[in-house]
Amino acid sequence: MRVGVVTFPGSLDDGDARRAVELAGGQPVALWHAHEDLGGVDAVILPGGFSWGDYLRCGAIAHRAAIMRAVTEFAEQGGPVLGICNGFQVLCEAGLLPGALLRNEALRFVCRPVPLTVERTDTPFTRAYRPDEQIIVPVKNGEGRYYADAATLDRLEVEGRVVVRYANGRNPNGAARDIAGICNEAGNVVGLMPHPEHAVDETLIGGTDGLGFFTSLLAAAGATLDA
């Protein structure tokens, strides 16, 4: 499976995302923000970092990049798209996911492993997990606080679109309703604030709980072929 990882000026986790794809058994494909097409990839990852230095708002400039027109079309056609941290911010700015990511409640950058509960396991990125499985994945953000109005939050809850939630009262940024990740109505576009690409190697943080987000893609591809 060919998984495109987009690099914007200021991206810094694109290499980690490509390595995670490789460890999961996929073929990573480097995509540049100025490209106008996706080169026939099977899935897309918008990685973490500080695209365009987070000027204006996080992701506000990146969502106007040439490649985002192709990403939007790909997503609207049902293609799997994962936005991690800054990538989540880009997806919200592009209107592919609802809500926004605001400054952390404590107004401090946070960087530490946090417990998560996986609530939705039928997306292309969560098939490897069990419902309500708890995993440990790092966060590193200064503007990671998920926010939406009450009506939008209620709709996400009713429609089961909260993909992962901070667990055990350990919400690192004050995100509304402990939301750490959501998906679109179709379930093919997922935004995550934690960094699963930093939890794929035992030698780094002592766990591989994040690898499932990447192996799930291969499982999803196999299920599509079987259908």
**pLDDT tens figures, 2-37:** 999 999 999 999 999 999 999 999 999 999 999 999
Tokens at residue 54, please?
């987070």
Whole-number Å distance between alpha carbons of 75 and 97: 11
Positions marked catalytic:
85, 195, 197
The domain segmentation of the chain, as residue ranges, is 2-226
Domain covering 2-226 in this structure, CATH number:
3.40.50.880
What's the pLDDT tens digit per position in 151-177?
Answer: 999 999 999 999 999 999 999 999 999
d(CA 93, CA 74): 17
Q: Are 43 and 28 in contact (CB under 8 A)?
A: no
In this predicted structure, the answer to whether residue 48 has a pLDDT above a threshold of 50 is yes
The closest alpha carbon to 48, from 89, 97, 99, belongs to 89
* Contact by Cβ (8 Å): 60, 34: no
Q: What is the DSSP letter of 221?
A: H
> Over the stretch 57-101, which tens digit does the pLDDT of each residue have?
898 999 999 999 999 999 999 999 999 999 999 999 999 999 999
pLDDT confidence of 227, banded at 50, 70, 90?
A: very low
What does 122-176 look like in DSSP terms, one character per residue?
A: -STTTTTS-TTEEEEEEEEESS-EEE--HHHHHHHHHTT-EEEEE-TT--SS--G
In the prediction, which pLDDT does 222 show? Answer: 57
Q: What is the pLDDT of residue 88?
A: 98
